[in-house]
Structure 1
Amino acid sequence: MRASQRFVDGQFRNSAGAGVGPGLKGSPLPLLGEYFRGGQARVPKGPLPLLDPRPVWQRPAETGLRVTWLGHSTLLLEVDGFRILTDPVFGDRASPASFTGPKRFHPVPVQLSSLPPLDAVLVSHDHYDHLCIATIRELARRRVPFITALGVGAHLEAWGVLPELITELEWWEEKVLPGGGLSFTAAPAQHFSGRALGDRNATLWASWVLRSDRHRVFFSGDTGLTEEFREIGRRLGPFDLVMLEIGAFHPAWADIHLGPENAAKAFGMLGGGTLLPVHWGTFNLALHAWDEPAETLLRLADEQRLRVITPRLGGSLEPSRVEQVDPWWREV
C-alpha cells in the first residue's frame, strides 16, 4: 500500500484528486430540499419479479459467456468455464447494523448455499453495499479464492477468509487463476472507501477487467466519470460485456457515481459493445425514483443507439444472444 502512487499521507486518492471523500458539488441546500420534500417513488410499490437461475446454471453457456444478475452489483459471471461472483451482498441490509440502514427491495433470487462451485470472488471495494460481512463469512467456508483491491484483504481475513486465498491488486496489476485460463486486472476508478468514521480511504477501490482467450468483460464497481476509461479501453479492450453502475446517483456527487447519463459516456469511452446496468433496483441509496436510472438509460440507449441488456433479478443472459431490451420494472 505504501508503495502505491495513490497512497498519500495514509490515504488513497483518485488520479484526478476528486472524491477523497463523498463530498458535494456546490451548496447542499438543494439536495436537503429534495430529501425532505420527497415525492419520488424511491421504493417499489409492489414485489419485484424474481427468476430462479439454478436450472440455467445446470448447463454450460453455449457462447462461453453468461451473466446472472442477483441484485445491485452482485453478479455470477460465467466466462469460458470459470464462475466468478462479484461484490457479493446477500444480507437484508447494506449497513453495519442488522436493524437499520437501507433494506433490500426484494429477496435474493437464490441463497448462497445454492450457488454453483465458484472459481473466484471479486470484491471491487469495501463499502457496505458491495462487501457484506455475513456473506463473506459464509463464502469463507467454501475456501474460494478472493480477488480485491489493496487493503481490502484485511477485512476478508478478519471475517475468516484464509490469507493464502486473498489476492490484493494495485491498479493495472494482474492476477491469473491457476491453469492460466482467466485473468483479472485491477483498473482505475474514481471513488472512495471506508466502513467507519476513522477509516476513510484506508483501502483502494478499483474497476476490473476479466479476460479469457475468447472473452473480455469490464466491471465498474463504483466510480464517477474519469478520462481513465479511455486508457482502460485502449489497453484492455474491446469488451464483450461492460457492466456499469447507474443507480444511487445525484449531480451533487457526480465525481463518485456515474448515473445513467455518465454511464452512457463511460460506455463510449471504453469502446462500446454491450452494456449491462448494475447498482440499481435493490437498495434505496439516493433521492431518485427506484426505477429512474433504468428508464433514463433506456431513453439514452434509444437516442444514441447503444446496445443495452437488462436481465431480470435472477435472470441469466448470454449477451451475444439478446435481441431486445426487457423493461421488466414496468410490471411492478
Structure 2
Amino acid sequence: MDNLVKHFVLISLVLLSLLMTFDLGCGLYLSNPVYSLDDAMNKPNNLSNVRFTNAEPTNVIKPGAKWDSIYQFLFKGHRHRKPDQPLPVVAMDGFVRQPAADGFRFVWLGHSSVLVELDSKRILIDPVFSDRASFLSWTGTKRFQPAPVNARDLPAIDAVLISHNHYDHLDKPTIMDIMEKAASFHVPLGVAALLKRWGVPASKIHEHAWWDEHEINGISIAATPARHFSGRGLFDQNRTLWCSWVICRNGKKVFHSGDTGKTVQFKEISTKYGPFDLTFIKIAAYNESWPDIHLNPEQAVGAYLDLGGKTLVPIHWATFDLSVHSWYEPIERFIKAAEQNHARTITPKMGEIVNPERYENGY
C-alpha cells in the first residue's frame, strides 16, 4: 500500500512540474509569483484569492532537477534512511510538573517539535505526535519511533506556534489532543481557517503576517520570514503563509526556523530581534533537487551565525524519512560544520529536559 501512495505522489509531482513549466497559476514556480510579496507582510481582507511568495526567487523543485533523485526518494533511497534500532529517549516526567517561577529550559520532542519554558510560561512549537506525517493515518511517512510523550499528557500550554501547514508541522490529531490545554494558537496567515474547522475556538487563534507581533501572558511572539512554501493537497499550494518564530520573555530570546531554505532575511531577523539566546534550526530533508526550500547542515550553521545565535539546537531530523540521505548524515555534517565555526551547540536526546545556560555536552 505504501508503494501505491508513493506512485500517487510521483504522479502528483509530475503534474505539478507541468503546472510549473506552463505557469498555470499553481503558485509553485515562486520566481514568477502570482501575487505581491506585500501579502506576506500585511493582512489582506480576503485570503481566498491569495497565493503567497518568498522574498527571493524560489523554486520548490529547481529547473532541470534530476528526476532520478526524486524517484530514488520515493521508491529506493539510501539503505540507512531509518535507524536499525530505536534512538535514545528520556522520559520527560519532570517537565509535566508545575513549572519553576523563574527558569529557562526546553525539551526536543522529535522532528521540529519543541516545548520551551521561559519563567513559568510554556510555548509548544510545531507539535506533531502522530505515527505518520501524512494526509492518511494508515499510510505515508512514518516516524522512526513513538514521540517521547503522549500529547494528552502534556502540561498546560500558554502558546502553541505553528510554522506552516505541511503535515510534518501541523498535525490534526495532535491539535485535537491539546486543544483544551492550550491557551492560545499562533499561526501564519490562512492557517486559522483550518484550526477553526478542527474545532479550535476562534478566540484562541492569532493569525500572523510576517513581522506581526503579539503579546500574551507576558510572552512576546513575532512571526518572522522563512523561505519555503505551503500546501496540504494538490490544489492549495501557497494559499497559506509560512514563517519562522521569535519568542521573547524577560530578556530571553528564542528563534525557531520552522521549515526554510537559505535566505538573506536571517540577517534582517537578527537586526530586528537578535542576538538570540537559543536558536532551533532545521538541518535535514535537504536534496540537490530542492535546494531553495530546505537548509542543509552547513547552511543551518550559517543561519545561526547570521542570526547572532548564542546556542544552536538542530531540529527537523531523526524522526521522519523525508529525503534520500541517511538518517544520520545530517547530524554528522552538522557537528563537523559546528566545530569548524566554533558554534556552541546542544544535541539533546528526545525528551531530555535541557537548561541551555547550564548544558555542557555540546555533542
What TM-score does the superposition give when structure 2 sets the normalisation length?
0.84
Aligned residue number for residue 215 of structure 2: 176
Q: Does 1:122 align with 2:155?
A: no
In the alignment, structure 1 segments of 5+ residues that lack a partner are 327-332
Aligned residue number for residue 65 of structure 2: 27
Q: Which amino acid aligns with 1:6?
A: D
Q: Distance in 2 between matches of 1:199 and 1:125?
A: 13
SS of residue paired to 2:57: coil
Q: Does 1:189 align with 2:187?
A: no
Aligned residue number for residue 5 of structure 1: 38
Q: Distance in 2 between matches of 1:158 and 1:3?
A: 28
Q: Distance in 2 between matches of 1:32 and 1:192?
A: 18
Q: Which amino acid aligns with 1:53?
A: M
Q: Kindly indicate whether the alpha-carbon contact (under 8 Å) linking 2:78 and 2:324 is maintained by their aligned counterparts in 1.
A: no
In the alignment, structure 2 segments of 5+ residues that lack a partner are 1-34, 41-46
| Aligned structure 1 segments of 4 or more residues deviating by more than 6 angstroms | none
Aligned pairs for 1:1-332 within 5 A: 5-6=38-39, 10-19=50-59, 22-32=60-70, 34-35=72-73, 38-58=77-97, 60=99, 64-142=103-181, 144-178=183-217, 181-326=218-363
Shift of 1:37: 5.7
Residues 33 and 142 (structure 1 numbering): CA distance in 2 closer, same or farther, change over 3 Å? closer
Deviations along 1:206-239, whole A, 9 cap, x unmatched? 0110011220000000000000100100110110
Aligned residue number for residue 330 of structure 1: none
Residues 299 and 118 (structure 1 numbering): CA distance in 2 closer, same or farther, change over 3 Å? same
Q: Which amino acid aligns with 2:176?
A: R
Residues 97 and 227 (structure 1 numbering): CA distance in 2 closer, same or farther, change over 3 Å? same
SS of residue paired to 2:266: helix
Q: Which amino acid aligns with 1:163?
A: A
Q: Which amino acid aligns with 1:164?
A: S
What TM-score does the superposition give when structure 1 sets the normalisation length?
0.92
Give the total of aligned pairs: 321
Shift of 1:3: 9.6
Identity among equivalent positions (%) equals: 44
Residues 63 and 257 (structure 1 numbering): CA distance in 2 closer, same or farther, change over 3 Å? farther
Residues 4 and 251 (structure 1 numbering): CA distance in 2 closer, same or farther, change over 3 Å? closer
Q: Distance in 2 between matches of 1:59 and 1:166?
A: 25
Q: Which amino acid aligns with 1:141?
A: E
Deviations along 1:64-97, whole A, 9 cap, x unmatched? 2111011101111101211011111111100000
Residues 17 and 114 (structure 1 numbering): CA distance in 2 closer, same or farther, change over 3 Å? same
Q: Kindly indicate whether the alpha-carbon contact (under 8 Å) linking 1:40 and 1:288 is maintained by their aligned counterparts in 2.
A: no
